[in-house]
Every structure is written in C-alpha cells, then in structure tokens.
Amino acid sequence: MIVAIDGPAGVGKSSIAKMVSDELGMYYLNSGNFYRGVTYRILNLGLDPAKPDDCVKAAKEAQFDVKDGRFYLDGEDVEDKLHHPSIDIWSSKVSVNPQVRSIVNERIHDLTKRMDVVADGRDMTTVVFPNAEHKFFFDALPEIRARRRYEQNPGVMDYDTILKEINERDEIDRNKPVGGLKIAPDAVYIDTSYLTINEVCEKVVKAVKGISIK
C-alpha cells in the first residue's frame, strides 16, 4: 500500500508523514531528502549547482538508501546534514532539472518496490505514485509556515527572511516544467494552518483506515 503526501515547503509534511508511518508500521520515504542529497553531493564535490550538467552528473553517480528512517548518501548517514540554509535554497533550484527528477524518481521506485510506504514530497501523488491507494495534500498559509519555522529555531533566521524564502520556494515549486506542485484531483486536501501535528496525523491515519474525517 502506498500513502502519498504532497504539499509546499514548511507545511509539516515530514514530521506528520513519519508519525503516520510509525503508527501504521510502514516504510517512510522523504523524497525531499533525495534532492537535498544531490545538492549536498554537488556542493561537497565542488561542482556548480547552477550548471545542469553538474547536477545530472552528481545525481547519476549518487548512491541513495533509506534505513530505519535515516537517509544514506554514498554509504554515509547524512540525515542531519541536509538542512543547511544553502541546501534549502539550492535544492529547490536543482530539483527543477527534469533529468535529475527522472533519476531521483527511478531510485525511489527501486527502493520502495513491493513495500508498504508513506512517501512525502511535491509530486508523490501526481507523478511518482499516481496509483497510490491514499493521497493527501497538506496546505497552510505562507505566514503560518514561516512562523512555525521561526519558532522551531528562533534566532537562526529572522521571520521576514524565512517568509521571503518560503514564498520564493513556493514560486519555484509551483512552476517547475516537470513535477510541479499540484493538487491531485483524487487527493484529500487538509489545511493544517490551525491544526497540530497530532491532529493532522490522526486525520490521515483515520482516512487510511477508512474512518470518515469530515
């Protein structure tokens, strides 16, 4: 069974998707980590993330794995190294490249073959798992997403800079020629603006179990 979740940056997808996968005993896959991993690799190898050929080379040669919810790149657990501000912004740009997207999608399919998976990202419900049994789209106002990010790490970046960056990433995500952020017609839309992580998780788990969430 596949539970696919999409939504914009900072909406709480990964925390909620992880919680849902624990609750349902399913494998959790955060597709954003693949784009972050490619970007990490580009920057570490001294390649140029603004050059499409460098991005494709870094993606092609990368070894990805997900074990116990941790993301491995070239055999190394890099889960805690992927949330640097330069990776936030560059991964958004690197992920526009259609060739990088197709390499990432192929690896995701290889890793999740014959598994029960909760996968989150921007195109899980539309491109990567169009036949997922359960699809969700999480949304929240940009100001609320920025406020949550600010409160998670107060003092690291000011609120206005975070909001500007969220709006910039939304713009890039929505306008990608391939894999752009869209609401699948068969996805359950959840506005998380005024819900806690636990409340959203409960809605998703109930929906997957066939209990009405209206």
Where along the sequence are the contacts to ligand DC (CB under 6 A)?
9, 31-32, 35-36, 91-92, 95, 121-124, 169, 173, 179
Give the integer Cα–Cα distance in Å for 40 and 86: 9
CB of 8 to ligand DC, least distance (A): 9
Q: What is the dihedral of CA 123, 125, 128, 130, to 10 degrees?
A: -140
CB of 12 to ligand DC, least distance (A): 11
Closest to ligand DC by CB, 92 or 208: 92
CB of 38 to ligand DC, least distance (A): 9
H-assigned helices in the chain: 13-24, 32-44, 52-61, 85-94, 98-112, 142-152, 159-174, 197-208
Closest to ligand DC by CB, 26 or 108: 108
Closest to ligand DC by CB, 161 or 211: 161
CB of 40 to ligand DC, least distance (A): 11
Q: Count CB-CB contacts under 10 A for residue 99.
A: 14
Give the integer Cα–Cα distance in Å for 30 and 26: 13
Closest to ligand DC by CB, 50 or 213: 50
